[in-house]
A and B are shown apart, each in its own frame.
Chain A
Amino acid sequence: MKNSPSLDEQLEMHRKMVIVRRLEERLGELHKAGRTRGPIHRCDGQEAVGIGATAVLGTSDFVTSTHRGHAHYIGKGVDIRGVTAEILGRATGTCGGRAGHMLIGDRDNGMIGGNAIVGGSIPAATGMALSIQVRGTADVAMCFFGDGAAQTGICHESMNMAGLWKLPVVFILEHNQFGLTVHHTVQSPVADLSIRAAGYAMPAEIVDGNDTVAMYRAVATAVERARRGEGPTLIEAKTYRMQGFSTSDMGGYQSDADLAEWNRRDPIQVSRRGLADAVSAERLDQIEAGAVAEVDAAVEEALAAPLPTFELFTRSSPYATAPEAV
């Protein structure tokens, strides 16, 4: 099939999904134990969207993310130890503890970055694509956003310009059914938001967001199109948010039937079934155990790492209000 991932790529996507799942589970435990700070937005059940889509990209491509970005960070190649330490507010974090889990940015890996203003990632990627077009390189910008963000005005403004100027951007609508606690049926009159793409003269595709291989194929086609200068694509990845909005969500609005149905479609299990013919169960177990051990080591390392210390700004800093901070 066109644009299918190689076996090695498929195994790497599987490994990265297990890394993200383990990270989310460990963060859940640490939150319950009172060892995290602030809300954490887990992406359990949605890992295939971010991991499958970013697997297509190179280092010089750009990704913009949301408040729920752990799979995007890991997929784009940000170091798991740095991410874990950042989430735990340590000096050794990707951003030295200044950013926290929603706002991780790593310029060297093209992950710029998390964005916790809902809808903010959409013009961000569009602006990067404008920069790519003005400079005339073959890079692409990839935008992750949710069904909640799809209802913002800035989504329309951005997609209109992306379509108008044929910008090299791939919009990944991570449709996890909920905007905070409100179901998508209470936020939009249409179930498939990708029908809007017609209004922006861009192709759209609805993809099983719990299947890394399906994500990879659809996104690879969109990325090729963007690199050829033919413009943006909207990928609507259907998935489901298995955990609450954040670790502070009290729950009570997700039906047991839905949870059971989507649990049956767990992306890690879907991936295992897809690999079953090509790879032994023992090898997959081994890969998964390695991923779990890597996350556990990152968590232990982060917990043992120093907390950051505040440093005053110099007068030349953009944040210095001279001269009290000199």
Chain B
Amino acid sequence: MAMMRYAEALNQALREEMQRDSSVFLFGEDIGRYGGVFKVTKGLMDEFGESRVRDTPISEQALAAMAVTASMTGTRPVLEIMYADFMPLVLDALINQASIYEYLWQNVTMPFVLRTQGGGGAGAGAQHSKSLDSLVAHIPGIKVVAPVTPADAKGLLKSAIRDSQPVIFLEHKLLYNLRDEVSDDPELLVPIGKAKTVREGTDVSIFATSRMVLESQKAAELLAQDGISAEVIDLRTLRPLDLDAITASIARTHHAVVVNEGWRFCGYAAELSATIMDFAFDNLDAPVARVTLPDMPVPYAEPLELSVLPNAARIADAARATLK
């Protein structure tokens, strides 16, 4: 075990998988010589060369489409899209290309990973602060993960690279400097599709991913001061969902709060809410509560941005409301 930052854990996962499998290669904007805008790929071009770690032109549409077919023909590309806000540029590659071929052709696999980072709180403005989880989690045939801890970041990225299907790997710009213990065992993987209970509780279940897990843990502390026992589940994988973990938790607490940093209308929280209605309705004592960004652009100035981002206080309020 070693203490390391989230960005370093991702770097270690990439290095280990590139050492293990020569078909793994990285491409994206600023990832080579500069080591990535968030330094996730630091040092990798020096170690693996310019063929396997490529700086690219600013051409997201083509890059994503190329990842799809490169993965279909014997390599395991890991593409970095610098901001999740640029994901609309790559949606054709995901929706009209990657999503369809395993069904239509059946004897193809598409083992590529698209890494990107989203989320607010850094003063990056309306085109560099969004969480567009629902946009990618909507697509059949594509897996979506969003780890919050350095250990899960490493273990899930390694699983994503070894997976035979497309995986969208969602990072958060406020998590890169988060430090925690990470295993140095190169074969320690975190399975895709498995949630993790980060705090056990008996009164209400809070479901979240990425940075919202941290806010949910703080919310649970606030709720504990009021004598409310909140369970916090880090879903870790947005698709495929760990439905068993969700229903088991609700069977214990009978109350559910779903948290997502994206928009509310047709958002990821809406899907979680509907899924809970589908599979855990009989165990619910109150309607599912949603905590999300309001349906508006992320503003720039700090007091404005902090007014719209979901946070511990809002999550705690939502939990209290379900218990009334």
Footprint of B on A, CB under 8 Å? 62, 64, 95-96, 98-99, 103, 105-108, 112-113, 115, 117, 120, 122-128, 130-135, 153-154, 157-158, 160-161, 164-165, 318-323
Across the two chains, which residue of chain A brings its CB closest to B60? Answer: A157
The answer to whether A123 touches B61 (Cβ under 8 A) is: yes
A157 in contact with B57 (CB, 8 Å):
yes
Partner of B243, one of A62, A133, A160, A322: A322
B143 contacts across to A, CB distance below 8 A: 318
Q: What are 21 pairs between A and B in contact, CB < 8 Å? A: A64-B69, A95-B104, A107-B72, A107-B108, A117-B96, A120-B97, A122-B62, A123-B61, A123-B66, A123-B93, A126-B69, A127-B70, A130-B66, A131-B71, A154-B62, A158-B65, A164-B57, A318-B103, A318-B143, A318-B165, A319-B102
10 closest A-B pairs (Cβ-Cβ)? A127-B66, A123-B65, A157-B62, A127-B69, A157-B59, A105-B105, A131-B70, A123-B62, A318-B141, A99-B104
Report A-chain residues with C-beta under 8 Å of the C-beta of B225.
none
Smallest distance from the beta carbon of B268 to chain A beta carbons, Å? 14
In the bound complex, what is the Cα–Cα distance between A131 and B97 (angstroms)?
Answer: 17
Cross-chain contact B51 with A131 (CB below 8 angstroms): no
Residues in B whose Cβ lies below 8 Å from that of A64: 69
- How close is B220's CB to chain A, nearest CB, in angstroms? 28
Report yes or no: A132 in contact with B73, Cβ–Cβ below 8 A: yes
Chain B residues whose C-beta falls within 8 Å of the C-beta of A322 in the assembled complex: 240-241, 243
Known: A154-B62, A319-B103. A135 touches B74 (CB 8 A): yes
Q: Report the bound CA distance from A161 to B69 in whole Å.
A: 15
Closest A residue, CB atoms, query B69: A127
Assembly CA distance A118 to B281 (angstroms): 45
Report the separation of the CA atoms of residues A103 and B105 in the bound assembly, to the nearest whole angstrom.
9
B70 contact set on A, CB distance < 8 A: 127-128, 130-131, 134
Q: Which of B232-279 contact A (CB under 8 A)?
A: 240-241, 243, 279
Closest to B242 in A: A322
Residues 67-89 of B at the A interface (beta carbon under 8 Å): 67-75, 77
Is there contact, CB below 8 Å, between A108 and B107?
A: yes
- Closest chain-B Cβ to A308's Cβ sits at a distance in Å of 12
Interface 1/0 per residue, B110-144 and A, CB below 8 Å: 00000000000000000000000000000011110
Whether A127 contacts B65 by the Cβ 8 Å rule is yes
Q: What's the minimum C-beta distance from A9 to chain B, rounded to whole angstroms?
A: 26
**Minimal Cβ-Cβ distance residue in A for B27:** A130
Closest-CB distance, B213 to chain A (whole angstroms): 22
With A117-B96, A125-B69 already in contact, the answer to whether A131 and B74 are too (CB < 8 A) is: yes
Contacting pair A120 B66 (CB below 8 A): no
With a CB–CB cut-off of 8 A, which chain A residues contact B54? 165
Interface residues of B, count at CB 8 A: 46
A157 touches B61 (CB 8 A): yes
Alpha-carbon separation in the docked complex, A114 to B143 (Å): 24
The reply to whether A113 and B56 form a contact with Cβ atoms under 8 Å apart is: no
Are A112 and B72 closer than 8 Å at their CB atoms?
A: yes
Query: Is B221 an interface residue when CB atoms closer than 8 A count as contact?
Result: no
At the interface, yes or no: B92 with Cβ under 8 Å from chain A?
Answer: yes
In the complex, the answer to whether B57 meets A160 with C-beta atoms within 8 Å is yes
Q: Given A120-B97, A125-B69, A127-B66: A134 and B51 within 8 A (CB)?
A: yes
- Which of B73, B92, B243 has the most chain A CB within a 10 Å cutoff? B73
Best-surrounded residue of A122, A130, A161 (most CB of chain B within 10 A): A130
With A64-B69, A127-B67 as given contacts, are A161 and B59 in contact (CB-CB < 8 Å)? yes
CB <8 Å contact, B73 and A131: yes
**A98-B104, A130-B70 known; A124+B57 contact, CB < 8 A:** no
Q: Contact partner of A318 among B23, B52, B92, B102, CB < 8 A?
A: B102
Greatest chain B CB density within 10 A among A107, A134, A153 is at A134
Report A-chain residues with C-beta under 8 Å of the C-beta of B93: 123
Determine the distance from Cα of A320 to Cα of B141 in the docked complex, in whole angstroms: 8
Chain B residues with CB below 8 A from A133, complex form: 51
Q: How far is the CB of A318 from chain B (nearest CB, A)?
A: 4
Is B66's CB under 8 angstroms from A112's CB? no
Chain B hits for A108, CB < 8 A: 107
Q: A112-B108, A157-B59, A323-B243 are in contact. Are A134 and B25 (CB under 8 A)?
A: yes
Complex-state Cα separation, A41 to B86, whole angstroms: 34
Nearest chain A CB to B49's CB is how many angstroms away?
Answer: 10
Counting chain A CB atoms within 10 Å of each CB, which of B23, B103, B243, B279 scores highest? B103
Which single residue of chain B is at the shortest CB-CB distance from A98? Answer: B104
Residues of B within 8 A of A98 (CB): 103-104
CA–CA, A160 to B62, complex, Å?
Answer: 10
A98: min CB distance to chain B, Å: 5
CA–CA, A117 and B93, complex, Å = 10
Q: A124-B66, A319-B103 are in contact. List 17 more A-B contacts (CB 8 A).
A: A105-B101, A105-B104, A112-B72, A115-B97, A127-B68, A127-B69, A127-B70, A128-B70, A130-B70, A130-B75, A130-B77, A135-B23, A157-B59, A160-B59, A318-B141, A318-B143, A322-B240
